[in-house]
Amino acid sequence: MRAFLRPPEGARMSAKRHESLIKTPKQLVTALVLFFVGTIIVIVLLAQLATSGRNYDEDAKSPEAVAKRIKPVAEVNMGTAGPAGKILKTGEEIYKSVCTACHATGVAKAPKFGDRRDWAPRIKEGQKELVRVALKGEGAMPPKGGASELSDIEVERAVVYMANAAGAKFKEPAAAAPPARAASGKVDGKRVYESTCMACHGTGVANAPKFGDKKAWAMHLTHGTEHVYENALKGKGAMPPKGGNLTLSEAEVKTAVDYMLEAVK
């Protein structure tokens, strides 16, 4: 009887052998390496997907080339403004650098990009009304999407871009006054904060730790600053990678974090 209850000797042997396969340190290392390589490949593919086909990316890589190309016009219009202030961005660029943070996924009930149902009742209000709201803000929608340095024209272009993607036939505004931007091209945490992060961190949208709120920030600092930089760059929960502005460099994101942390010292 006992012999029937016990599994056959051969089965027990192979079960043991199988177990020892995983336990061999070399096998474990190989499995881990394969896992990490796989993860990295996925991240690289995602990163390529996120940045593919965008020519503003190339612009960002060669600011000198851009500055040279538009120099004559820029000097007439802008006086002393730095490289960052010389380009009046397109609606698509503004959307991708600022508005996408909330409108891509519909954070705090923002009308979702390309969603005709979300946009139809708003489009009926007309271009003028939507631009007014985008400039002045309403509810959880911050004035100019939180990017106070944008010119009115740029905001209107972004509204037209978003509305038209959801079926509207709004007209591009004519180019007029160039945007007022910080005069230095130097990385400036306050400027990055105000242009990108303030939209959520200014008031604490979706539980973002509020600017200057020591208690809120203390909870996020328990694992040290390196960890906090990492999360600002890669995203965490409702916090999008780089605050949703993928045109920011790593250094720019870090100075914005420094600026926010300085305020809760």
Between CA 221 and CA 105 the distance in angstroms is 27
- 208 vs 140: CA distance, rounded Å: 13
Interface mask toward ligand HEC for 13-52; x: CB under 6 A: ----------------------------------------
* Cβ-proximal residues to 71 (8 Å cutoff; 6+ apart), any chain: none
- The type of residue at 59 is D
Q: Residues 224 to 243: which contact ligand HEC by CB under 6 A?
A: 227-228, 231-232, 236-240, 242-243
* Residues written for the chain: 265
Contact between 85 and ligand HEC by CB under 6 A: the answer reads no
Which of 86, 197, 210, 211 is close enough to bind ligand HEC by CB under 6 A? 197
189 binds ligand HEC, rule: CB under 6 A: no
Q: Are 159 and 151 in contact (CB under 8 A)?
A: no
Question: Residue count at the site for ligand HEC (CB under 6 A)?
Answer: 56
Query: Structure tokens of 140?
Result: 């959880």
201 makes contact with ligand HEC (CB under 6 A): yes
Residue 74 as a binder of ligand HEC (CB under 6 A): the answer is no
From CA 162, how far away is CA 165, in angstroms rounded? 5
Place of tokens 């020591």: 214
Nearest in space to 111 (alpha carbons), one of 138, 90, 151: 138
Tell the smallest beta-carbon distance from residue 50 to ligand HEC (Å). Answer: 15
Cα distances from 264 to residues 211, 226, 238, in angstroms, run: 8, 17, 21
Of the pair 2, 117, the CB lying nearest ligand HEC is at 117
- Residue number, 70 or 246, with CB nearest to ligand HEC: 246
For 12, 64, 103, 254, the CA distances from 193, given in Å and listed in that order, are 62, 24, 19, 10
> Given the rule CB under 6 A, which of 36-44, 76-84, 173-181, 191-199 is the region that contacts ligand HEC?
191-199
Q: What token pair was written down for 153? A: 């024209």
86, two tokens: 């010389």
The angle formed by the CA atoms of residues 110, 103 and 60, to the nearest 5 degrees, is 150
How is residue 81 written in tokens? Answer: 């403004």
Nearer to ligand HEC, 67 or 187 (CB): 187
Q: Which is nearer to ligand HEC, 87 or 257 (CB)?
A: 257
> Cα 135 to chain center, whole Å?
21
Query: Which residue, 67 or 229, is less far from ligand HEC as judged by CB?
Result: 229
98 near ligand HEC (CB under 6 A): yes
Q: Is 179 in the site for ligand HEC (CB under 6 A)?
A: no
Residues 142-161 that bind ligand HEC (CB under 6 A): 142, 144-147, 155, 158-159
Choose between 85 and 93: whose C-beta lies nearer to ligand HEC. 93
- The site for ligand HEC (CB under 6 A) is made up of 94, 98-99, 101-103, 107-111, 122, 125, 130, 133-134, 138-142, 144-147, 155, 158-159, 192, 196-197, 199-201, 205-209, 220, 227-228, 231-232, 236-240, 242-244, 248, 253, 256-257
